[in-house]
Chain A
Amino acid sequence: MDLIHDGKTRKVHQDPESADREIVEFTDSIALDDEKAESITGKAELVYRMTDFLLGYLEGKGVDTHFIRSLESPKILVRKVDIYPVLVVCRNIATKSFCLRSGVDEGTVLEKPLVEFFLISDRLHNPLITERAIETIGLVKDEILHFMRAVTLSVNYYLVELLKQQSLVLADFRLEFGITKAGHIVVADELSLDNMSIWDKGAPYMNFDEIKGKEEEFIQAYGKLVDLITRTKPEEVSNRNEILQVIVKPKDGIRNPPGEVTKKMLVRMGFGDAEDVRVGKVFNIILRRPITSEILHQLNIMNIKLLSNPISEKHEVSYG
């Protein structure tokens, strides 16, 4: 097996059977900031079990991930993707860096989940970056960012609801996304304590920063958590509604009589600044499953076939 990538917490190998797949092998290392500091025997196995269970669960709920199936521990088989150069972070509880940056007290429950983006760059220490900046410097297209945000929020919902069964709270997590050869944008990450922070009874379930000298305890606690998680009942988490919004607008240069009439009326009612009005339509399409590239692809076909008339109208989709 050719080693494609040797990371801190995992190694990535080429799948000998298919050029489009790779094998992820988890390691016992623990990433503490950017130094490869600790290695605890048994951790790889726990990461493997947790990721296997949670990615399988998300796939079952319809989230598109890179996960194909588990191989012998601690390896999983995944689709090969090109990773987008941003990390997506979703927060339910204010912790560490967010508290430092916002002045909010550690442990504050956020009113609604917050999605943030970070630039993947070891050199710059993965800094926070705004969506506008990502788009402006041409890192990732706006529509793809919106897609990542929507999927991240779905993932958040499904994880939160699942953990709730064991009275656990998902404080925050981060995800990488990638695009497959076939053009599907998928969640391309593990799901373990390496990229999630889980709280129990108002405090972090465990803290990576304080494990020195407590390796035994750490592994026991981690193992107990994985046991708890793998004993949850995915079928009891109900599917969440997602809204896809299709906006159909008259093409530029095509006359828009409803707009002209509306403009006339606006002017007559005293809104003389209305220079031009163009009337379109909005379709709110409610899904009972997470958004995927395939769904957007189908929607695009529907847009051309039904929702808009390509001769005179253009359309755009928004979601989340």
Chain B
Amino acid sequence: MISKDELQIATKTLGRDFTETELRMIEALWSEHCSYKSSKRWFYLFKTTADNVALGVGEGAGLFDIGGGYYAGVSMDSHNHPSQIDPYNGAGSGIGGTIRNVISQGCKAVGLMNCLRFGHPQKPKNALSLSNAVRGISDYGNSVGIPMVGGEMEFDESFEDNCLVNIVCIGCVKSENVVRSIARTPGHHIVIFGSKTGCDGVGGVIFASNVISDSKDWSTSAIQIGDSLAEKVLIDTLTELLEEHLIDGLQDIGGGGLAAAAGDLAHSGGTGVEIELDKVPTRGVVNPSDIIISESQERMLAIIAPTNMDRVKTLLEKNDTPYAVIGKVTDDGYYTAKYEGEIIAKLPISLLVDGVLIPERVEGKIPSQTDSLSWFKEPDDYGSAIMNLISSVNICDRSWIYSQYDQHVQSNTVVDIGQNAGVLEFPNGRLLAFTSDCNSFWCKLDPQVGTANSAAESLRNIVSMGARPIFIANCLNFGSPEKPDSYAQFVESVRGLGRFSHDFNIPIIGGNVSLYNEALVDGQNRRINPSPQIMLAGIFKEKFSPIKRNLVTPWANIFLVGETFPELNGSEFQRVIVGEVKGEPPKYRPNWEKKTMDAILESHDRGLIRSCNNVGRGGIAIALMKMALRSEYGFKLNMEYIPGTVNSLAQSLFSETSSRYLAEVTESNQPEFLSILEKHELATCELGLTTLEPTADFGRFTIPLEKAKMEFSDGLGKYLG
């Protein structure tokens, strides 16, 4: 909803009162979702430029030069509010929108990822929401024919009333085929194509820019219904239009509908637009101001030169795609909307797109945490502690979810989901790895450190497979920016991600901010854990085969690289044993992180590592178990000496200190591997050996892997059916 202040300023700038249509346009474009009015001011903290960045943040997708004349594209988007109300359609249409962001730059969409956060599935309503969201993603994503290559999932009570559905779409485009979201030439035609415009999704962005509350009656019209067949036909049609270079500018019609799409095109081109709303193909909408802000799915807006118009029409008609020429690019700097010949809106583009009043936001203070471990006590039974973690929802096997996603369509998938990162082959022959991470528990305790460390965990996922990080996309999910404590979480988190991007010199080329993820439930305000979802892409050297985390040879040595400190506050161990997270989360150590990264990558380059895992959630214990659970082998370890300052077995097993890796190295490669670690001045220790025996032998205790596999694989299934 537009505030009184905003309205006053806007009216003053315009010099007259708004028409109804103008007001609704302003309301949509000045929403937090469209305008980033609370968040944009902090983006300067991010590293956004680099030699290989072909197109930075700002349009549908960021583009990154991966060599051989090809760019990789990425878009990351949230569909949190709609998914909370209607998980099936909300999540499905989230997939659709993110894909259209990527194809609007001329890319072929080549991969998808989804990051989900829900309430604990032991409550049937949470289980139902989750399985519906997954079904929505599965039905939509599978049928448009784009492989799912990765994702992430986290459960916490705080997501019960505000689930998070973040989608990543990866694209690929030849450099000469890039299309921009710009209306640069007055006189060019504006063409809408794809599905018809309906009442669904009217006011979606305003919906997404408010706190969900039971008292407000958000009619179902704010939910977009996806049609995956229409999307597939749209993609196929667009491919033909792009092949013939017929499009001068292109924009997905998403949040803010036609008001935002045409407004943005004109804004980036420094032009104006004139739209005849009665020409828009509709189904069931009659009100012109509904037409202009409807967020109906599967629609695109293209700028077409008059000379190409006939050919464009032919292709659209051949593919049976609904379309209409709805207006022209102008040179007057105005967004003019007509209905049946009458002007019903005429707003300066500068006011509409850029005029939003930057609201004052107050950054509160983040409560300080202690590093006290007074809660910690050594478990009586290490084996059962590990079993508890392995079967806990934040660690267990996710295949119940991802087996519902087509991972192989397009025949480019080199590594399926279930490893540290998914790997795709690109048309230039290069392999790229994609991963996503966020530990919202760390972020809750310390947003800045938690965010930087979540990014570092993504980094280790990529590095453990042998890839070098190349770019970041993010989706920042937080509570209301109008509340100082919540706003502080957001700002601190941006600082954390900014630090990380500069520390590691990795550009951020795509992103999205989703605020107001809090809900009034029975008079109580319930806010999500701060959840900066970070997607990281990496590239492998040519001819390098990605290294997985499952053990591959018997009688090889398992090395721990990096030092371990007693960092159990904020850990999964604490959460599962104590039932809550508290204290100072593990520290962010960029220097150590860089050293271990360099050492692991160098070892990979020389082919010294057979399997490798990042030490993350659940510490060494879980990292080791994950290496064994998907392999035919077990291990036999001696955990008595671990470099660092831990002083008990449980601390060694479960500490979540960053910048650590586990590597499987065969006997013959050991001297070279150790010399590389030494060169990088890294502490390491040989934990033990891989064995033919299907047993996880930790020295002081053992776990039969057969049993662990069962617990691990049934972790979600037992709630979801």
By a beta-carbon cutoff of 8 Å, the part of chain A in contact with chain B is 261, 264-265, 268-270
Contacts and interface: CB of A to CB of B under 8 A. Distances in A.
A264 B124 contact: no
Q: Which of A261, A264, A265, A270 has the most CB of B within 10 A?
A: A265
B721 interface: yes
Contacts of B127: 265, 268
A261 B128 contact: no
13 contacts: A261-B721, A264-B721, A265-B124, A265-B127, A265-B128, A265-B721, A268-B124, A268-B127, A268-B721, A269-B124, A269-B125, A269-B128, A270-B124
Contacts of B128: 265, 269
A286 to B, nearest CB: 14
Nearest to B721: A264
A270 B128 CA distance: 13
A295 B124 CA distance: 46
Contacts of A261: 721
B721 to A, nearest CB: 5
A269 B131 CA distance: 14
B interface residue count range (under 10 / 10 to 19 / 20 to 34 / 35 or more)? under 10
Contacts of A265: 124, 127-128, 721
Given A269-B124, A270-B124, 11 more contacts: A261-B721, A264-B721, A265-B124, A265-B127, A265-B128, A265-B721, A268-B124, A268-B127, A268-B721, A269-B125, A269-B128
A267 to B, nearest CB: 10
A269 B125 CA distance: 8
A264 B127 CA distance: 12
Interface string B121-135: 000110110000000
A153 to B, nearest CB: 26
B133 to A, nearest CB: 15
A268 B719 CA distance: 9
Contacts of A268: 124, 127, 721
A233 B125 CA distance: 58
A274 to B, nearest CB: 13
A265 B123 CA distance: 12
A265 B121 CA distance: 12
Interface in B123-167: 124-125, 127-128
**What 3 pairs across the A-B complex have the smallest Cβ distances?**
A269-B124, A264-B721, A268-B124
A103 B331 CA distance: 74
Nearest to B131: A265
Contacts of A270: 124
A169 B124 CA distance: 56
Contacts of B125: 269
Nearest to B124: A269
Contacts of B721: 261, 264-265, 268
Contacts of A269: 124-125, 128
A4 to B, nearest CB: 54
A270 B125 CA distance: 11
Interface in B195-243: none
A191 B721 CA distance: 61
A265 B128 CA distance: 8
A265 B721 CA distance: 7
Nearest to A261: B721
Nearest to B719: A268
A28 B124 CA distance: 74
A271 B236 CA distance: 45
Interface string B608-636: 00000000000000000000000000000
Nearest to A262: B721
| From B125, B127, B128, B721, residue with most partner A Cβ within 10 Å | B721
A61 B279 CA distance: 34
A268 to B, nearest CB: 5
A207 to B, nearest CB: 47
Nearest to A266: B124
Interface in B414-463: none
A265 B135 CA distance: 15
Nearest to B125: A269
A261 B717 CA distance: 12
A169 B128 CA distance: 53
A261 B128 CA distance: 12
A241 B124 CA distance: 42
B250 to A, nearest CB: 36
Nearest to A270: B124
Interface string B688-721: 0000000000000000000000000000000001
A260 to B, nearest CB: 9
A268 B125 CA distance: 10
B186 to A, nearest CB: 45
